[in-house]
Amino acid sequence: MHVGLLYSRIRRDEKLLLNELRDRGHEVTKIDVRKEQFDLTEPPESFDGLDVVVDRCLATSRSIYITRFLQSYGIPVVNSHETADICADKAKNSLALADAGVPTPNTKVAFTVDSAMDIVEEFGYPCVLKPVVGSWGRLMAKIDSESAAEAILEHKSTLGNYEHKVFYIQEFVEKPGRDIRVLATDGEPVAAMVRSSDHWLTNAAKGASVEEFELDDRAKELVKQASDAVGGGLLGVDLMETGDDYTVHEVNHTVEFKALNDAVEADVPATVVDWLEAKVDGEQSLAEVSA
């Protein structure tokens, strides 16, 4: 197959995918999104002859718009625009999970400092304030007091981007010093790891330690439900343990997996490419039947 890889920087994650694709003899075209221009009706020449495009854009804005253009051109893209649009926005993400009946932390959204303060007082301390768009744990705040809440909310309200005027507030979940990251392809787990830290943020990007995690049937069920809720694809599903159950707090659409690949016995990029091959074969077979 001929695969296009959208990127703005080639990280270790992308190198793992590229090496696996080339080792299997697949043709790969790397497409630097910073150099492309997108017409309303005709795709750039870089996209000629591609069987599938894999979106690895770092910037959320690029990911959302380029996947929409590719959808308009009729070029298959992983992940779809619909999935990217939901996963890129924490409020849309939470709504999709709740609509699908997936357990997720109690969350409320407000648009003024006064209304946001009311939510904070309702949730009690601590609670968590997150940007609706963001990754790697950046700009997240654990609010421990009224004075801290007033300062952080006032600070956000003065920032220029309209997204900072959306106050996304979540209950603080007492997790056991760790959370669970699951890489899944259309809801089927590829591998899972726990990310542990003394800090309340347990992102690997924040220095959390990682180790392989064996999913039980309940966790697998929630991963499938969460994946379906956002439209499926190559996703990172984040769970937290809550006593004898789990809560799904986020689904990621341009998921990083280098730390996961180091932590588990499974060959993560090989399994991802297996899925891509099956996906392209299925779409080509469907096209032949339709013809």
Q: What local confidence, expressed as pLDDT, does residue 161 receive?
A: 73
Task: Name the maximum alpha-carbon separation found in the chain.
Answer: 65
Verdict on whether the full-model pTM lies above 0.85:
yes
Selected from 3.40.600.10, 3.40.109.10, 3.30.1490.20, 3.40.50.1820, the CATH number assigned to the domain covering 106-171 reads 3.30.1490.20
Positions of E strands within 162-268: 167-171, 178-185, 188-196, 209-212, 234-242, 245-252
What distance, in Å, lies between the first and last C-alpha atoms of the chain?
Answer: 20
What is the average per-residue pLDDT within 250-265? 94
Q: What is the pLDDT of residues 18-47, one digit of tens each?
A: 999 999 999 999 999 999 999 999 999 999
Residue 68 has pLDDT above 80, yes or no: yes
Sign of torsion over alpha carbons 273, 268, 91, 8: negative
Residue 203 has pLDDT above 80, yes or no: no
What is the average per-residue pLDDT within 212-232? 97
Distance CA 163, CA 217 (A): 37
Domains in the chain: boundaries: 2-87, 106-171, 178-272
Selected from 3.10.20.90, 3.40.50.1580, 3.30.470.20, 1.10.10.10, the CATH number assigned to the domain covering 178-272 reads 3.30.470.20
3-class SS at 249?
strand
- Domain 2-87 sits in CATH at 3.40.50.20
What percent of the chain has pLDDT above 70? 92
Q: What local confidence, expressed as pLDDT, does residue 210 receive?
A: 87
Q: What local confidence, expressed as pLDDT, does residue 200 receive?
A: 60
Q: What is the pLDDT of residues 127-144, one digit of tens each?
A: 999 989 876 567 788 999
Residue 207 has pLDDT above 80, yes or no: no
Q: What local confidence, expressed as pLDDT, does residue 201 receive?
A: 66
Name the packing angle between helices 113-123 and 146-158 (round to 10°): 150
Sign of torsion over alpha carbons 146, 148, 152, 155: positive
- The average confidence (pLDDT) of the chain is 91
Q: What local confidence, expressed as pLDDT, does residue 155 receive?
A: 82
Distance CA 156, CA 42 (A): 40
When mean pLDDT is compared across 1-10, 87-96, 171-180, 220-229, the lowest value belongs to 171-180
